[in-house]
Amino acid sequence: MLEKLSPLPPDPILGTTVACRNDPNPDKVDLGVGVYKDAGGNTPVFEAVVEAEARILAAQTTKAYVSPPGDSRFIEGVTRILFGEDHPVLADGRVGAVQAPGGSGALRVLAGVLLRAQADTELWVSTPTWGNHIPLLGAAGLDMQQYPYYDRGAHALSFDAMVEALKQRGPGEVVLLHGCCHNPSGADLTREQWDVVGDLAEERGFTPFIDFAYHGLGEGLDDDAYGVRMLARRVPELIVAYSASKNFGLYRERTGLAITVDATAEQAATATSQMANIARELYSMPPAHGASIVGEILADVELTASWTGEVTAMRDRLNGLRALLSRSLAETTGTDEFDYIAGERGLFSFLGLSPEQVQRLQSERSVYLIPSSRINVAGITEANVGYVAESIASVL
Ligand code: LMR
């Protein structure tokens, strides 16, 4: 039976890492998968994580299952940093949540909830959106639709077109928004634009669904959560897929949280029971380690302060690299064409290159990015930025 299967090409995002790893060129640069790297090109384990792991190991007495909704300290800690200490949805018990294997696991569990609530749910995603949104959420069974978001030629949001598309949405339709650090464009909504989305969600009655994978990497932990907190105040229902991969550096630990904000505390309890049941169907129980680390950090004032400092350093470094790359590209190309990179946020920006130019960067210069010409800014270092800028100029 299995001989009927055909082999598939590598994943467009994950495949670049493998291709780069196999390249013997010592000058190669990996700007593919969205993983943070330091000046030495390494993805470090946070000091707060090392300390939390040591404490967990010392105190650990069992490897028995965690409860189906997951680690309560993790859920309490993440919902507190997400909504903010005094948010009414927390005070009113209107938040349902289950721990999930990564932000992707949270997306998949939440897709299940939407389909159980309404079998023909339409989910509207931005054009462009993360390369795995449509495969992952579409495979779950959602009816995937797209709204305009980013103009690649102008390197700017297509906000008016987005608003026009959202004006057509209504009750029973779900609109996926990136909480901050839009993947793949790096172009985020301003507070004023978030407010317009809030007006539309209230007026039209669609359900916002926030993918929140880069909390703290844009403008700061509170600023990045503006859209989620504002929507949670204004609309009766909201959905959030939270990832701790980037902001705690826990990529391989698969640490995510599927969250619903519901109209009442009773509905939040119902949503939690449904999510735990969907998780039971998919993978039964959540993995423990990453969530216990995040729970340990967020339950401890000193560890939280240490972690917050590390997130700040990471964000400052990313924004510094953005400025550095823009300046280097201005020098090598003699234009201001790439100045927009400095103003975008998070790990990603588009270079606006064709797939052929991306291929040439790879074959002629060993500079790896994904075919859409999305770069991971964190792959730039002070040492390689000149080479990267020259390489990009060479294919223009
Ligand atoms: C990315 O977009 O590079 C990351 O979110 C990693 C992934 O799974 O695609």
| Residues whose CB falls within 8 Å of the CB of residue 322, separated by 6 or more in sequence, listed in order | 341, 342, 343, 344, 349, 377
Atom of ligand 1 at shortest distance to CA of 103? Answer: 5
What is the average pLDDT score of the chain?
97
Residue spans of the domains in the chain: they are 2-44+316-395, 65-299
Quote the ligand 1 centre to 89 CA distance (angstroms).
30
Q: Are 43 and 37 in contact (CB under 8 A)?
A: yes
Residue 183 Cβ < 6 Å to ligand 1: yes
pLDDT tens, 357-379? 999 999 999 999 999 999 999 99
The neighbouring-strand residues paired with 211 are 178, 241
Give residue-wise pLDDT tens across range 199-208: 999 999 999 9
Asked if 2-44+316-395 and 65-299 have one fold, the answer is: no
Does residue 297 carry a pLDDT above 90? yes
Closest Cα to atom 4, ligand 1: which residue?
A: 34
The token duo for 110 is 């939440």
Task: Let me know if 130 is a catalytic residue.
Answer: yes
When pLDDT is averaged across residues 73-84 and rounded to a whole number, the result is: 98
Asked if the 2-44+316-395 domain carries CATH number 3.90.1150.10, the reply is yes
Q: Looking at residue 88, what is its pLDDT? A: 98
Span 40-53, mean pLDDT?
96
Per-residue pLDDT of 135-185, as tens digits, reads 999 999 999 999 999 999 999 999 999 999 999 999 999 999 999 999 999
Q: How far apart are CA 237 and CA 244, in angstroms?
A: 23
Q: Is the pTM of this model over 0.95?
A: yes
Based on the residue annotation, tell me whether 63 is a catalytic residue of this protein.
Answer: no
Q: Classify residue 170 by burial, with Cβ atoms within 10 Å: 0-12, 13-18, 19+.
A: exposed
Class of domain 65-299: alpha beta
Please report where in the chains the tokens 């039971």 appear, as a residue: 280
Atom of ligand 1 nearest to the CA of 34: 3
Looking at ligand 1, which atom is closest to the CA of residue 183?
Answer: 2
- For ligand 1, is residue 114 a contact (CB within 6 Å)? no
